[in-house]
């Protein structure tokens, strides 16, 4: 309150102040060793102000009265300096203030309250279970690394609109990577535990992951990859498991529908978008078949994007980015929503921010970051196995792997964790060195089967990078399995 009062009296027409305390725990192990064990805590306040239509931002880790007031004044001075070459003054979409709100992730067990020796013991037990498979009778070459990452962020936001909200965010990611090695041939293959995705939950997410019980399977799959048949290049029908597909959705749907990219503001790093300009694509551009519906939200239980209010005090709404296969909306903040005023009028919707503003810490300025962007399940209740059974010649892909996509999100290449050859509706063996190359419109246009509600899973990532200086966002993507026809598959295996 002190910060926003100081900003106002220094001339700001709008101000917000975020105080956050971030606790992070990292435990890393390798074989029978703990290779890293550490806790990190950062604390501070970030003040953002609007003066004459230009933004200013300042932050400090010293929360004394004098320093907070001084920081607010520095933010105002920054805004005044940035105003010099202004072309289009910032206007903000309306917001309904929340005078006294609280929100907390649905986390049952605070990971920072769990004895660290228990967390370490769990990882070492998982490693031991994996090594029994990777090095039977102590022989052969095999490696296992495992880790746990936890975040607890307590953040408070005050705005000159009258919002005051206090939120506690939890994130958890356990991870195990098994590596099988054939010293004689020089081959080595890895299996990451991508069936356990990062979530906005507490320590119960680690327990639910059953690391010790699953580790022997991951180890066996790494060994199996050493013996797998190299893929023959060509066009295949792909059956994509949700633990794989979430990343393809992230790269080929969620990123190109960020409004700042479409408007050119991110051209120097993240890039622009093929879903542009807005007036040519909204309600017009066909992304995929009628059954394709993509939803943006910040409320799915346990998702990384879940939050009560975004970093400018907007209660996020759930909206459709793609509706019946056609582009329907972009991800927005209060500053961005006015750019689409014409579209909201035309389609009979109120002009408001979707609540997609986020900053990675108190010391970073907030900007548009993606919410959860999810492919909704189809109306027919069918499973991953049903999709395989319906496929005559194809490849099934499980888990996310290598990924790369161009700066307008047209051309992408994805690997995976496990690849299975499908013949006559059955899996006939494991493949290796598989990657598919796609052009986004053809890839989604070629989707002809989609799983039902029962097959829907949430994947996600912590390290979604954007902005200069780059900031990391954490986001989930839900999806059922899908089938895509006639996709170009390459063999990535090369000899040195």
Kindly identify the residues of this chain, within the stretch 153-182, that bind other proteins according to CB under 8 A.
179, 181-182
Applying CB under 8 A, which of residues 15, 17, 59, 396 lies at the interface with other proteins? 59
Residue span 333-372 as binding mask against other proteins, x where in contact by CB under 8 A, dash where not: ------------------------------x-x-------
**Nearest of 424, 427, 420, 376 to residue 398 by alpha carbon:** 420
Region of 131-139, 308-316, 381-389, 433-441 interacting with other proteins (CB under 8 A): 433-441
Rounded Cα gap, residues 353 and 310, in angstroms: 10
Please tell me whether residue 230 binds other proteins under the rule CB under 8 A: no
Q: Which residues pair with 155 in a beta bridge?
A: 20, 167
Q: Which is nearer to other proteins, 278 or 316 (CB)?
A: 278
Applying CB under 8 A, which of residues 347, 404, 454, 486 lies at the interface with other proteins? 404
Residue span 237-266 as binding mask against other proteins, x where in contact by CB under 8 A, dash where not: ---------------------------xxx
**Nearest of 496, 483, 489 to residue 230 by alpha carbon:** 489
Q: Which residues pair with 237 in a beta bridge?
A: 394
**Nearest of 382, 485, 470 to residue 436 by alpha carbon:** 485
Q: Which is nearer to other proteins, 390 or 490 (CB)?
A: 490
Applying CB under 8 A, which of residues 7, 20, 78, 278 lies at the interface with other proteins? 78
Please tell me whether residue 403 binds other proteins under the rule CB under 8 A: yes
Q: Kindly state the DSSP code that residue 3 receives in the 8-state scheme.
A: H
**Residues in region 365-384 near other proteins by CB under 8 A:** 365
Region of 239-247, 338-346, 388-396, 465-473 interacting with other proteins (CB under 8 A): 465-473
Q: Which H or E run includes 220?
A: helix 211-227
Applying CB under 8 A, which of residues 9, 61, 346, 486 lies at the interface with other proteins? 61
Complete DSSP assignment for 16-46: EEEEEEEEEEEEEEETTEEEEEEEEEEEEEE
Q: Which is nearer to other proteins, 106 or 488 (CB)?
A: 488
Block residue for tokens 């004098």: 66
Contact between 218 and 193 (Cβ < 8 Å) = yes
Q: Which residues pair with 346 in a beta bridge?
A: none
Q: Which is nearer to other proteins, 174 or 451 (CB)?
A: 174
Applying CB under 8 A, which of residues 91, 349, 402, 454 lies at the interface with other proteins? 402
C-alpha distances in Å from residue 320, one per residue of 59, 173, 256, 277? 35, 28, 14, 18
Tell me phi and psi for residue 124, to 5 degrees: -65, -35
Q: Return the ∠ at Cα 201 (arms to 109 and 381), rounded to 5°.
A: 125
Please tell me whether residue 139 binds other proteins under the rule CB under 8 A: no
Q: Which is nearer to other proteins, 40 or 96 (CB)?
A: 40
Contact between 312 and 326 (Cβ < 8 Å) = no
3-state class (DSSP) for residue 166? strand
3-state class (DSSP) for residue 145? strand
Q: Do you find a cis peptide bond into 277, omega within 30 degrees of 0?
A: yes
Applying CB under 8 A, which of residues 427, 439, 445, 448 lies at the interface with other proteins? 439
Minimal distance, residue 57 CB to other proteins, in Å: 6
Applying CB under 8 A, which of residues 156, 214, 324, 488 lies at the interface with other proteins? 488
Q: Which is nearer to other proteins, 295 or 473 (CB)?
A: 473
Applying CB under 8 A, which of residues 34, 94, 232, 345 lies at the interface with other proteins? 34
Q: Report the DSSP pairing between strands 101-104 and 164-182.
A: parallel
Block residue for tokens 């070492």: 124
Q: Which is nearer to other proteins, 7 or 276 (CB)?
A: 276
Minimal distance, residue 116 CB to other proteins, in Å: 5
Q: Which is nearer to other proteins, 129 or 449 (CB)?
A: 129
Please tell me whether residue 269 binds other proteins under the rule CB under 8 A: yes
**Residues in region 14-33 near other proteins by CB under 8 A:** 32-33
Beta-carbon contacts of 340 under 8 Å, excluding residues fewer than 6 positions away, are 259, 278, 282, 329, 330, 332, 351
Region of 110-118, 206-214, 219-227, 315-323 interacting with other proteins (CB under 8 A): 110-118
Rounded Cα gap, residues 341 and 190, in angstroms: 49
Applying CB under 8 A, which of residues 106, 383, 437, 472 lies at the interface with other proteins? 437
Please tell me whether residue 138 binds other proteins under the rule CB under 8 A: no
Q: Which is nearer to other proteins, 330 or 384 (CB)?
A: 330
**Residues in region 188-227 near other proteins by CB under 8 A:** 188
Applying CB under 8 A, which of residues 110, 128, 187, 317 lies at the interface with other proteins? 187
**Number of residues in contact with other proteins under rule CB under 8 A:** 90
Terminal Cα-to-Cα distance of the chain (whole angstroms): 62
**Residues in region 445-464 near other proteins by CB under 8 A:** none
Helix orientation angle between 65-82 and 2-9, rounded to the nearest 10 degrees = 40
Applying CB under 8 A, which of residues 145, 257, 272, 356 lies at the interface with other proteins? 272
């Amino acid at each position: 309150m002190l910060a926003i009062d100081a900003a106002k009296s220094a001339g700001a027409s709008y101000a917000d102040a975020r105080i956050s305390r971030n606790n992070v725990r990292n435990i890393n192990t390798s074989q029978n060793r703990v290779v890293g064990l550490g806790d990190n805590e950062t604390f501070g306040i970030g003040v953002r102000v609007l003066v004459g239509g230009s933004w200013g931002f300042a932050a400090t880790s010293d929360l004394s009265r004098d320093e907070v007031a001084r920081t607010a004044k520095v933010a105002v001075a920054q805004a005044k300096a940035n105003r010099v070459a202004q072309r289009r003054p910032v206007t903000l979409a309306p917001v309904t203030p929340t005078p006294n709100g609280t929100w907390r992730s649905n986390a049952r067990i605070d990971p920072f309250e769990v004895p660290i020796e228990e967390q370490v013991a769990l990882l070492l037990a998982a490693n031991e279970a994996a090594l029994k498979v990777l090095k039977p009778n102590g022989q052969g070459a095999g490696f296992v690394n495992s880790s746990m990452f936890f975040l607890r962020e307590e953040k408070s936001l005050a705005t000159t609109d009258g919002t005051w909200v206090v939120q506690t965010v939890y994130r958890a990611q356990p991870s195990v990577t098994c590596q099988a090695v054939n010293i004689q041939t020089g081959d080595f293959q890895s299996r990451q535990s991508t069936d356990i995705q990062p979530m906005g939950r507490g320590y119960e997410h680690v327990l639910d992951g059953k690391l010790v019980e699953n580790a022997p399977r991951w180890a066996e799959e790494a060994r199996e990859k050493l013996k797998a048949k190299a893929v023959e290049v060509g066009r295949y029908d792909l059956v994509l498991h949700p633990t794989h597909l979430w990343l393809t959705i992230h790269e080929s749907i969620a990123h190109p529908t960020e409004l700042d990219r479409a408007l050119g503001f991110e051209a120097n790093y993240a890039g622009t978008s093929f879903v542009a300009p807005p007036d040519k694509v909204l309600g017009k551009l066909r992304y995929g078949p009628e059954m394709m519906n993509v939803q943006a939200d910040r409320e799915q239980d346990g998702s990384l994007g879940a939050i009560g209010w975004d970093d400018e005090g907007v209660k996020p709404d759930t909206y459709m980015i793609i509706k019946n296969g056609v582009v329907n909306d972009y991800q927005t903040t209060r500053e961005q929503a006015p750019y689409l005023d014409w579209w909201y009028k035309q389609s009979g919707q109120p002009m408001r921010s979707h609540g997609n503003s986020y900053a990675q810490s108190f010391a970073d300025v907030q900007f548009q970051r993606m919410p959860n962007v999810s492919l909704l399940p189809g109306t027919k209740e069918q499973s991953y196995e049903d999709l395989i059974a319906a496929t005559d010649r194809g490849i099934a892909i499980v888990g996310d792997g290598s990924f790369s996509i161009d700066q307008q999100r047209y051309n992408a290449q994805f690997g995976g964790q496990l690849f299975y050859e499908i013949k006559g509706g059955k899996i006939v063996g494991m493949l290796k060195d598989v990657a598919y190359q796609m052009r986004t419109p053809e890839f989604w246009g070629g989707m002809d089967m989609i799983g039902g509600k029962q097959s829907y899973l949430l994947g996600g990532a912590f390290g979604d990078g954007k902005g200069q200086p780059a900031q990391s966002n954490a986001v989930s993507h839900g999806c059922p399995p899908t089938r895509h026809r006639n996709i170009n598959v390459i063999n990535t295996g090369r000899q040195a």
